[in-house]
Amino acid sequence: LEITDAAAQRHRLVLEKLPGHLALSSTPAGARVLLDGESRGTTPLQLADLRPGTYRLEVRHPRYRTLTREIEVAGGDQILALDLQLEPAWGQVRVDSRPSGARVLVAGTPVGNTPAEVPVVAGEELRLELDGYRNWQRSLDLAPGERRDLGVIDLAPADASLRLLSDPPGASVTLNGHHRGRTPLTLEVSPGQTHQVVLFLPGHADASRKIRLTSGQTRTLEVQLEPRLGQVEIQLQPEDAELYIDGRRYAGASHHLELPARPHQLRVERAGYLAEARTLTPTPGAPQTLRIALRTPEQARLAALPDTLDSPAGGTLRLFRPAATFTLGAGRREQGRRSDQVEHKVSLQRPFYLGTHEVTNAQYKRFDPDHSSSHTGGNTLDLARQPVVRVSWIQAVRFCNWLSERAGLEPFYRIRGGRVTGVDAGATGYRLPTEAEWAWAARIDASGRRRTFPWGEAFPPAAASENIAGSEAGDLVAARVAGIDDGFPVSAPVGSFPANAKGLWDLGGNVAEWVHDRYAVPLAGAPVTIDPLGPEDGTGHVIRGPSWRHGGLVELRLAYRAQGESGRDDLGFRLARYAE
């Protein structure tokens, strides 16, 4: 209160009411009291110094209905006294049993023996127990004050107990056709009945037993499971690799084993090789031979390469791992041989991808939309699925580098000022096939022998198996194969004729193909070259393969070579790239 120098002063004072008090009692006593949700104690209860106002009162007692009401505390040091009568929440249940004398439990608490009348709150469980008999229980939904007579409960004889053991353990168990678990296992079974028990364990014969137990009887059944064995021979490469079966080590390179007829986990290890894991399931009466050859990290890396690739322009490339040494060129006595077809040995060791088809007009125009393969003799060469032609060697190389950039690969060719100044032999970018790769893909069969013609060894061919110059070519060509009509006077859509044994189309016809190598005459007796990229110097670049313009024996031979730099109306190319 502030007093000033003024002669007359006025101050307003507001009196605050004193708190009130609450006195609570209940029947029965011991009820828990909550005021505005806060527990304040149990009755009888005195609560002092409550601020005046309205409160929510809850009074709770086990087995009684919760009492809830709003109360008003007046304050002014007045006492609000309340004596509360709680309503019972139970009903009365009468129950008897046959035989009588069973223990009666309500919510797990013993309350007497049958016959009996007991209080039960709604939702509580009533249970009867008697030695030698099964327990009987039920949850009851009673209204407060309700009286219910359950009559006489017939108690069933107690189950018998069966403990099952097996050797080996872990067997699945069925009882009367129903799965019950795995051994070791204890089962409760109905007394006085015959039960069928069956044990199953992979690699072992099923075991079946019939049992009959009396009420309350406990029995242990031990079952020896008979293994079912299968014969297995396991051969390892390298021979000193270590074999583990289900964690157990077996020595030696060849193993003749009898194993239980169930899945086994095999693991083979050796330093310097990648471990290999297998799952083996022997079969009785059916011997098996399993050969496991470990791979070095390099072999595994090569094995993980995809069998095919799709180029960014479309078209598929197939993976090849030749690991082969063979002879390029043609023997001196071969009919149609030319002087530039000198025999010399090469070896292909580096895996590579090779286009399954020649590059089409549609694919090339994604790189050069203005290019036209044009037409010849009134026949178009520019359909989308026809092979692109009138492409020079350098144009084909630029297309390869463009694909490499689109695919995020290191370009194979180094191009400066419109000229190829070198190559990156370690790159995996797109390129033209080497002459050795082309010849291996076109000429060398599975046995390593060289084919003379795309269709075999005889000339002329008996039927049209490639797009070459037959009677359909008319005056477009200088020479034609007599008696042959392949239906295409000029180039055909790629893949129109059957693929060769390597799954490659048109290596023996349709259009001739640029390869990577410079053109030169090989030296006779030169040492074997591995993965050759051709000579460093030469006149132009090598062209391989027959085309729709060729009808003579010389040009239709797979050993035929030509050279050039500029495009032709019967000259295209296919893609290649190293696998790694």
Mean pLDDT of 161-175: 94
**Going along 390-445, which residue ranges are E strands?**
413-416, 419-423
Which pLDDT band, with edges at 50, 70 and 90, does 17 fall under? confident
CA 360 – CA 524 distance, rounded (Å): 37
Partners of 73 in beta bridges: 53
Q: What is the pLDDT of residues 109-132, one digit of tens each?
A: 999 999 999 999 888 899 999 988
CA 38 – CA 58 distance, rounded (Å): 9
Angle at 133 between CA 129 and CA 139, to 5 degrees: 45
Supply the mean pLDDT for the chain. 93
Which amino acid appears at position 504 of this protein?
Answer: L
pLDDT at 123: 85
Q: What is the pLDDT of residues 285-336, one digit of tens each?
A: 899 999 999 999 988 888 889 999 999 999 999 999 999 999 999 999 999 9
Which pLDDT band, with edges at 50, 70 and 90, does 281 fall under? very high
pLDDT at 192: 87
Partners of 229 in beta bridges: 260
Q: Is the pLDDT of residue 1 over 80?
A: no
Partners of 221 in beta bridges: 164
185 alpha-carbon distance from chain centroid: 36
Mean pLDDT of 256-265: 90
The one-character DSSP state at 102 is -
SS3 per residue for 157-174: ECCEEEEEEEECCCCEEE
Structural tokens at position 357: 């088809």
- Residue 382 sits at φ, ψ, to 5 deg, of -110, 15
pLDDT at 535: 95
Tell me the CA end-to-end span of the chain in Å, nearest whole number. 97
**Going along 478-540, which residue ranges are E strands?**
512-518, 529-530
Partners of 178 in beta bridges: 175
Count other Cβ atoms within 10 Å, centred on residue 10. 5
Q: How many helices (H) and strands (E) does the chain have?
A: 5, 43
Partners of 129 in beta bridges: 103
The one-character DSSP state at 449 is P
Q: What is the pLDDT of residues 495-525, one digit of tens each?
A: 999 999 999 999 999 999 999 999 999 998 8
- Going by C-alpha positions, the residue among 539, 558, 538, 542 that lies closest to residue 550 is 558
Q: What is the SS3 assignment for 70? A: strand
The one-character DSSP state at 228 is P
Among 223-227, 271-275, 433-437, 448-452, the range with the most confident prediction by mean pLDDT is 433-437
465 alpha-carbon distance from chain centroid: 43
Which of the two residues, 578 and 253, has the higher pLDDT score? Answer: 578
Q: What is the pLDDT of residues 356-415, one digit of tens each?
A: 999 999 999 999 999 999 999 999 999 999 999 999 999 999 999 999 999 999 999 999
Mean pLDDT of 251-278: 89
CA 432 – CA 227 distance, rounded (Å): 62
Q: Is the pLDDT of residue 352 over 90?
A: yes
- Going by C-alpha positions, the residue among 265, 268, 264, 253 that lies closest to residue 229 is 264
Residues 6+ apart with CB under 8 A from 303: 295
CA 453 – CA 458 distance, rounded (Å): 8
**Strands lying side by side in the sheet with 529-530:** 324-328, 344-348, 529-530
Mean pLDDT of 243-261: 87
CA 255 – CA 248 distance, rounded (Å): 13
- Going by C-alpha positions, the residue among 491, 490, 454, 502 that lies closest to residue 356 is 502
Question: DSSP letter string over 361-375?
Answer: HHHHHTT-TT----E
The answer to whether the Cα torsion of 475, 479, 481, 483 is positive or negative is positive
Q: Is 117 exposed, middle or buried (0-12, 13-18, 19+ CB in 10 A)?
A: middle
Write out the H or E segment, with its range, that includes residue 21.
Answer: strand 20-27
**Going along 333-418, which residue ranges are E strands?**
344-348, 352-355, 375-376, 379-380, 413-416
Peptide bond into 28 cis (omega under 30): yes
Q: 430-468 in b/e burial notation, b at 16+ Cβ within 10 A?
A: bbbbbbbbbbbbbbbeeeeebbbbbbeeeeebeebbbbb
Give the rounded percent of residues in the chain with a pLDDT score beyond 70: 99
CA 145 – CA 148 distance, rounded (Å): 10
Answer yes or no: are the C-beta atoms of 232 and 175 closer than 8 Å: no
pLDDT at 68: 95
CA 345 – CA 159 distance, rounded (Å): 88
Q: 53-73 in b/e burial notation, b at 16+ Cβ within 10 A?
A: eebebbbbbebbeebeeeeeb
pLDDT at 501: 96
CA 375 – CA 365 distance, rounded (Å): 16
CB-side exposure of 196: number of CA atoms within 13 Å? 7
Longest dimension (CA), the chain: 147
pLDDT at 253: 66
Q: Is the pLDDT of residue 252 over 80?
A: no
- Residue 76 sits at φ, ψ, to 5 deg, of 65, 30
Domains belonging to the chain, first-starting first, are 20-85 (2.60.40.1120), 90-154 (2.60.40.10), 160-224 (2.60.40.10), 229-298 (2.60.40.1120), 308-578 (3.90.1580.10)
pLDDT at 190: 87
Residues 6+ apart with CB under 8 A from 73: 20, 22, 50, 51, 52, 53, 54, 55, 80
Structural tokens at position 354: 């090779």
Q: What is the pLDDT of residues 26-74, one digit of tens each?
A: 999 999 999 999 999 999 999 999 999 999 999 999 888 899 999 999 9
